[in-house]
Chain A
Amino acid sequence: MMANILSQPFSWLNLLWMVLIAVAVMGVVLVFVMYAIYFERKIIGWMQLRKGPNRVGPYGLFQTVADVLKLLIKEDVVPAKVDRFLFLIAPVIAYTPAFAIIAVLPYSEKLYFADVNVGLLYYGALSSITISGILLGGWASNNKYSIMGGMRSVAQMISYEVPLIMSFLGIVLMTGSLNLIDIVKAQQESGVWFIFPQFLGFIIFLIAGNAELNRTPFDLPEAENELVAGYFVEYSGFRFAFFMLTEYVYMFAMASLMTVLFLGGWDAPFGLTFIPGIVWFILKFLLLVFYLFWARSTFPRVKTDQLMGFAWKVLIPLALLNVMGTAVIKSLFF
Chain B
Amino acid sequence: MLLNVGPQHPSTHGVFRLVVKVDGEKITDAIPVIGYLHRGTEKLAENLTYTQIIPYTDRLDYLSSMTNNYALVQAVETLMGIEVPERAEYLRVIVMELNRIASHLVWWGTNLLDLGAISPFLFAFRDREIIVNMLNEISGARLTFNYMRVGGVKWDAPEGWIEKVRKFVPYMREKIKEYHTLVTGNEIFLARVKDIGVYDAETAINYGLSGPVLRGSNVKYDIRKNQPYSVYDRFEFDVPVGEKGDVYDRYMVRMEEMVQSLRIIEQAVEQFPESGEIQGKVPRVLRAPEGEVYTRMESSKGELGVYLVSKGKDKPYRLKLRRPSFVNLQLLPKLLIGRTMADVPAILGAIDIVLGEVDA
Contacts and interface: CB of A to CB of B under 8 A. Distances in A.
Interface of A: 44, 47-50, 144-145, 148, 216-217, 219-220, 223-228, 296-306
10 contacts: A44-B118, A49-B123, A223-B116, A223-B342, A297-B119, A299-B186, A300-B116, A300-B186, A301-B192, A303-B192
B115 interface: yes
Contacts of B310: none
Interface residues of B, number: 30
Contact of B9 (A216, A220, A228, A297): A228
Contacts of B191: 302-303, 306
Interface in B165-184: 182-183
Nearest to B110: A225
Contact of A50 (B25, B113, B122, B342): B122
Interface in B101-124: 112-119, 122-123
A302 B192 contact: yes
A224 B11 CA distance: 8
Contact of A301 (B10, B119, B188, B341): B188
Given A49-B123, A224-B10, A228-B9, A304 B342 contact: yes
Contacts of A306: 191-192
A87 B11 CA distance: 27
Which 10 A-B pairs rank lowest in CB-CB distance, beginning with the nearest? A301-B116, A300-B117, A300-B115, A48-B122, A303-B342, A225-B11, A225-B114, A300-B116, A225-B345, A297-B119
B126 interface: yes
B91 interface: no
Interface in B18-32: 25
A305 B10 CA distance: 22
Contacts of A301: 115-117, 188, 192, 342
B343 interface: yes
B116 A216 contact: yes
Contacts, number: 81
B10 A300 contact: no
Contacts of B115: 225, 300-301
Nearest to A224: B10
Contacts of B10: 224-225, 228
B117 A49 contact: no
B293 interface: no
A144 B342 contact: no
Contacts of B188: 217, 299-302
Contact of A48 (B25, B123, B183, B344): B123
Mostly helix, strand, loop or mixed at chain A's interface? Answer: helix
A299 B186 CA distance: 8
Given A217-B116, A300-B189, A303-B342, 11 more contacts: A48-B122, A144-B1, A216-B117, A224-B116, A225-B11, A300-B117, A300-B192, A301-B116, A301-B117, A303-B191, A306-B192
A217 B117 CA distance: 8
Nearest to B24: A151
A226 B119 CA distance: 18
A43 to B, nearest CB: 12
Contact of A225 (B113, B119, B123, B126): B113
Nearest to B11: A225
B227 interface: no
Contacts of A216: 116-118
Contacts of A47: 119
B340 interface: yes
B205 interface: no
B37 interface: no
B3 interface: yes
Interface in B307-360: 340-345
Contacts of A144: 1, 3
Contacts of B112: 300
A301 B341 CA distance: 13
A304 B192 CA distance: 11
Contacts of B118: 44, 48, 216, 296-297
A305 B117 contact: no
A47 B122 CA distance: 10
Nearest to B182: A298
B116 A148 contact: no
Contact of A226 (B122, B123, B341): B341
A298 B187 CA distance: 12
A226 B122 CA distance: 20
Contacts of B113: 225
B25 A304 contact: yes
Contacts of B192: 300-303, 306
Given A144-B3, A299-B186, A49 B116 contact: no
Contacts of A44: 118-119
A302 B340 CA distance: 12
A304 B116 contact: no
A297 B11 CA distance: 19
A301 B343 CA distance: 11
Interface in B248-269: none
